[in-house]
Amino acid sequence: MSETALSAPRLTMVQWLICVMAAIGFAFDIYELLMLPLIARPALMELLKVEPSNPLFTYWLGILFFVPAFVGGFFGLIGGYLTDRLGRRRVLTWSILLYAFSAFFAGFATNIYVLLFFRCTTFIGVCVEFVAAVAWLAELFPNPQQRERVLGYTQAFSSIGGLLVAVANGIAIQYAGSFPAIAIPESFVGFWGSIPDEGQHAAWRYTLMSGLLPAIPLIFIRPFLPESPAWKAKKESGTLKRASIAELFSPALFRTTVVTTIMFAMSYGAAFGAIQQLPQIVGGLADVKALADKKAEAVPDAPDAEVTKKKKMAARKQVEQKTASNYTKVQEVGGLIGRFLLAVLALRIVSRKALLWVFQIPGLLIMPVVFYLFLQVPNQTFATIDLKSIYLDELPITTMSLGVMICGLLTVAQFSFWGNYLPRVYPLHLRGTGESFAANIGGRMLGTSFALVTTTIAGSLPQTLDSPTRFAYTAAGVSAFVYLVGFITSFWLPEPGPEHEEA
């Protein structure tokens, strides 16, 4: 063990509180982001009063995925600037409160515009929180080994957030009828509108409202959370330089800003352009098709042939959606492993390029192959882990779910990499702004747009291929592209130097 590691002081009670608060913040970041795929279908059906086959449903589904991400990215950049101007702790606190209360009030949505508004404010809070938390942690733990460990392990809770939201949704679905009814007070009905009786115990509303949870410990812990000592000292002495977005493109930082923004976008591109497309792909697996056909055959015939057809189709869709949900959980487990692996390796691999290549190079080789062969190789089932007791349904251990888990490991680990790397390449007065530009302009705005790229290309492929195959082939191509661009760009990735180690 190095002398630096041996000299790292033990965490104090306040530092443990800091780590707990940061872990909660990171966990609920992903909790809020991954909530939409779980609640979008029932929410749109209730608010729009249309079936999923209706073009209006598809239109608003795209709006709910794209607009909040774009708005969050834009205002997240402003939030990064405010982090440098107003302080890390203050912005962190208000960003968590913003996304927590936005999620809660979204549960009272009486129309699609209210839901869209609160999803936008939720995204703004999430985008700002990540930047503020990373800068805050980096400066509160000046010991390099301790800082890498704290940043790595607290960020690992992001993937736990993905599993927690699945648990919350499972609880909401099972106990929605027993929970208090969600209704708008009479005095606000004229302004806000009312929730119909059939929507007052809707599981999607309770799932949204569960996003309030991180605000509860924050209210009690906040008085014990210190401001960044380095930022505070410069602020009080009058030596804190004014943050400027233009400075990100000064000769000293131009390369850092451009390279990190491109690479952050490619990391998100792999997630949104390939991994997040699993719900469109898994229905094409032979074993899933067989199970869906079996469920459809068990549906009793109705007097009306058209009604029978719709019920059988609904039974097939239910199987496909459940399988997609379970595969997504396997991917989240892979992401969790990847984040912890990154946290361990960050302490042992000095070169940041080498650390990133541990995940980039295998991802460049494995991701395209997994998605290209997704529907072509036999999907052998090795085991099924029953997790119904904790509302996670089950985890299928199959040939392709293991492939998905590896893809999740290699891709999600890179998100933690950026949380460790970015605070070390920007000066203190510009740290929040620089991190925010890479994370929000690169990741949230450019990276998430690869979901649109995938759906657009998949829709333009020959219709002789079924929809799952078109999405699988497109996801393979998109993942190959973003990983290749990310890997090539990494050769220009600056190694952190001592010039920005003020904290």
Q: Give yes or no for residue 499 having a pLDDT over 80.
A: no
Q: How confident is the model at residue 500 (pLDDT cuts 50, 70, 90)?
A: low
Instruction: Give the pLDDT score at 37.
Output: 82
Q: Give yes or no for residue 5 having a pLDDT over 50.
A: no
Q: What is the pLDDT of residues 142-171, one digit of tens each?
A: 888 888 889 999 999 988 988 898 888 888
Average pLDDT over residues 228-249: 92
Hey, what domains does the chain have and what are their CATH numbers? 10-218 (1.20.1250.20), 245-493 (1.20.1250.20)
Instruction: Give the pLDDT score at 4.
Output: 45
Region of residue 353 (phi > 0: left; psi between -120 and 50: alpha; otherwise: beta): alpha
Count Cβ atoms within 10 A of the Cβ of residue 16 and give its class: 0-12 exposed, 13-18 middle, 19 or more buried: exposed
Q: What is the pLDDT of residues 372-416, one digit of tens each?
A: 999 999 999 999 998 888 888 888 999 999 999 999 999 999 999
Q: Give yes or no for residue 2 having a pLDDT over 60.
A: no
Q: How confident is the model at residue 498 (pLDDT cuts 50, 70, 90)?
A: low
385 phi and psi angles, rounded to 5 deg: -95, 120
Average pLDDT over residues 449-465: 87
Average pLDDT over residues 303-326: 80
Q: What is the pLDDT of residues 167-195, one digit of tens each?
A: 888 888 888 889 999 988 877 777 777 88
Q: Give yes or no for residue 3 having a pLDDT over 50.
A: no
Residue 301: count other Cβ atoms within 10 Å of its Cβ: 11
Whole-angstrom Cα distance, residue 317 to residue 401?
19
Higher pLDDT: 222 or 492? It is: 492
Sign of CA dihedral 422, 423, 425, 431: positive
Q: What is the pLDDT of residues 24-74, one digit of tens each?
A: 988 988 888 888 888 888 898 899 988 877 888 878 888 888 889 889 989
Query: Angle CA(34)–CA(440)–CA(105) in degrees, nearest 5?
Result: 45
Torsion angle (degrees, nearest 10) of CA 169, 175, 179, 183: 60
Q: Give yes or no for residue 487 having a pLDDT over 90.
A: yes
Instruction: Give the pLDDT score at 350.
Output: 86
Query: How many percent of the chain have pLDDT more than 70?
Result: 97
At residue 160, the 3 state secondary structure works out as helix
Instruction: Give the pLDDT score at 406.
Output: 97
Average pLDDT in the chain: 89
Please enumerate in sequence order all residues whose Cβ is within 8 A of that of 55, keeping only pairs 6 or more positions apart, or say none: none
Tokens of 310: 């719709």
Whole-angstrom Cα distance, residue 421 to residue 454?
29
Torsion angle (degrees, nearest 10) of CA 95, 98, 100, 103: -130
Instruction: Give the pLDDT score at 30.
Output: 86
Whole-angstrom Cα distance, residue 109 to residue 348?
49
Q: What is the pLDDT of residues 92-136, one digit of tens each?
A: 999 999 999 999 999 999 999 999 999 999 999 999 998 999 999
Instruction: Give the pLDDT score at 1.
Output: 39
